[in-house]
Structure 1
Amino acid sequence: MRKVVFKDVDGKTKKLMLCQAEGGVYLFGYYSLQDSSADWDHFFCTMEDAIECCFEDYGINEEDWIIIADQPKNCQQDFIIPTRIEGREAGKPAFGQLQQFIKGQWVDYIIAEKCMSFDGLTDDQRLLTTGLVFEYEKALNGDKAKTIKILTALNFE
């Protein structure tokens, strides 16, 4: 299970993600809004411990979290869209060279300049930049609560 929240929690961290892993839970923190690798992480024994920490330290309530899909095998857990290091699946990783799974195929992905706010971004740009575009499209097919949660998190009018 993975969850994400978009909220300026300390004047620097713009987004948090919780990721259930073997043996515990990672809390990833990001200094920008776009879908990218985390800037820092913490490890907890249980999801309950991680959620409690996020509430106590960052004021994140349970209802603030957006549940997102788990990553496929060999993908980076701290990205929202399935993202992998090129060649990792073949045992020959090319570190620094990323690929994302878009429309059924792996395409090269270069992390753009850091996005620090949604100011000036269109609705589509917000969905694409944050990596929530596919989660939003899935939610449109019957999960009204998740659709609203995503739109609210991305400051849609």
Structure 2
Amino acid sequence: MRKVVFKDVDGKTKKLMLCHAKGGVYLFGYYSLQDSFADWDHFFYTMEDAIECCFEDYDVNEEDWIIIADQPENCQQDFIIPTRIKGREVGKPVFGRLQQFVKGQWVDYEISENCISFDGLTGDERLLTTGLVFEYEKALIEDKAKATKILTALNFGKPSIDTIIG
């Protein structure tokens, strides 16, 4: 299981992600909002310990987290959209070259410059930049509460959310 929250927690860190791993849980921290490599991480033995740390150190409540899909094999666990180092799946990684799984295909992907604010971004740009576009599209069909939580996390106003979700 993985969880993500978009929140300025210390003036520099804009997003946190929790990810189950072999033997424990990683807490990833990001200095930007876009789907990218984490800037730092901490390891915990249990999800409960990681969640408690996030509450005590970063004021993140349990209801703030958005549950997101686990990554397929050979993918970077700190990305939201399935992302891999090109060639890793055949044992010949080309470090510095990434691919994302989009609409059933692996496509080359480059991380854009750091996005530290949603100011000036359209709704679609926010969903694409953060990597939540596919989580949102699925939630819009299957789980309106999760879709609302995603839009809220991306700073959509209540009137906009009410219009979009209906």
77-86 or 143-152: bigger deviation: 143-152
Runs of 5+ consecutive residues of structure 2 not aligned to the other structure: 158-166
- State the Cα deviation string for residues 24-67 of structure 1 (Å, max 9, x = none): 00000000000000000000000000000000000000000000
The amino acid across from 1:53 in the alignment is C
Runs of 5+ consecutive residues of structure 1 not aligned to the other structure: none
Q: Give the structure with the larger helix fraction.
A: 2
**1:108 pairs with 2:108:** yes
User: 2:51 matched to which residue of 1?
Assistant: 51
- State the Cα deviation string for residues 75-118 of structure 1 (Å, max 9, x = none): 00000000000000000000110000011100000000100100
* Aligned partner of residue 95 in structure 1, secondary structure: coil
The amino acid across from 1:45 in the alignment is Y
* Aligned partner of residue 126 in structure 2, secondary structure: helix
**TM-score, normalized by length of structure 1?**
0.99
Report how many aligned residue pairs link the two structures: 157
The amino acid across from 1:127 in the alignment is L
User: 1:76 matched to which residue of 2?
Assistant: 76
List, as ranges, runs of 4+ consecutive aligned residues in structure 1 with deviation greater than 4 Å. none
Shift of 1:3: 0.1
**1:95 pairs with 2:98:** no
* Aligned partner of residue 140 in structure 1, secondary structure: helix
